[in-house]
Amino acid sequence: MQEIAAAVGLPIGRLGGGFMISREAKGFSEATGLKGWAPYFRGRFGVLGDVDADVVAAAAGFFPAETVRSAWEAGSDLPAAIAAEQYAGVAHAYGRRVLGDFGEAGRLAELLEMVVGAGDVIGAPVFAGWRAVALPSDAPARAIQLAHIVRELRNGLHIVAVLGSGLSPLEAVLSGTSALLPSGEPNAEYFGWPRPFPEVTEEVRERRAEAERLTDQLMAPAFASLDKGEAEELVALAQKADRVVFG
């Protein structure tokens, strides 16, 4: 199932992450009074509980610890559990807006739920936290939340793969591509990494490619919950939904 994990990586990443930069997310920021990275960190990582910022940095993986601490502590007046609940609501509202007319959202949600249920929590604490969050009953919202949970599984395992491939988090950001944000140096700067940045050598690129292959390999057991027909259907539906949302 490694090839299935690779095929759905981009569309699931976009479907599961799009709500974080949506107008609904902006509304969450305005409603809570949080600014900058604070609503993102408090919302996405609120499932970890009211922990020290280093715990969040460990789970986030690709951000400087200083960025994480500043954002996490700026949102400390909003309890983590409440932030996570409200962030789930952001995902639901986004899903209803972008997939409300997608007639196959229910089937997409069914297949994604099988993957989520088969995922291993080891190495993916944010996935574990989000998997414990109740799912909405309506298909568009449910599909987006499940896509987000699968995305969190991949992100956790990708951190493992990056480190296992001998890359630093900064090297991974500089040499990688982003499904929703600018890539390379603009992304590193956006995340808060200070300049000057190290050179992205051919060796770094090769290690980055190996990290992607290893991530797909680590994701494969979750997709093994699907038979061949279901796996192919998931790829088709994820790509179709991605086109509906992003064109």
Compute the CA torsion angle 206, 207, 213, 219 (nearest 10 deg): -160
Contact, 199 vs 168, CB < 8 A?
Answer: no
Name which of 108, 54, 56, 46 is nearest 82 in CA terms: 46
pLDDT at 182 over 90: no
- Token code pair at residue 171: 């090297």
Q: 117-175 pLDDT, tens per residue?
A: 999 999 999 999 999 999 999 999 999 999 999 999 999 999 999 999 999 999 999 99
Q: 20-43 pLDDT, tens per residue?
A: 999 999 999 999 999 999 999 999
Region of residue 139 (phi > 0: left; psi between -120 and 50: alpha; otherwise: beta): alpha
C-alpha separations of 59 from 52, 116, 191, 245 in Å: 12, 18, 15, 28
Q: 39-73 pLDDT, tens per residue?
A: 999 999 999 999 999 999 999 999 999 999 999 99
Q: How confident is the model at residue 226 (pLDDT cuts 50, 70, 90)?
A: very high
Average per-residue pLDDT for the chain: 97
pLDDT at 179 over 90: no
What is the pLDDT, as a whole number, of residue 104?
A: 98
Q: How far is CA 121 from the centre of its chain?
A: 15
By three-state DSSP, how is residue 94 classified?
Answer: helix
Q: Considering just the CA atoms, what is the radius of gyration of the chain in Å?
A: 17
Q: Where are the alpha helices (DSSP H) in the chain?
A: 2-17, 23-32, 38-44, 53-60, 65-74, 80-98, 105-118, 125-131, 139-164, 169-175, 185-191, 202-223, 228-246
Only one residue has tokens 């040499």, namely 175
Dist CA 198 CA 219 (whole Å): 30
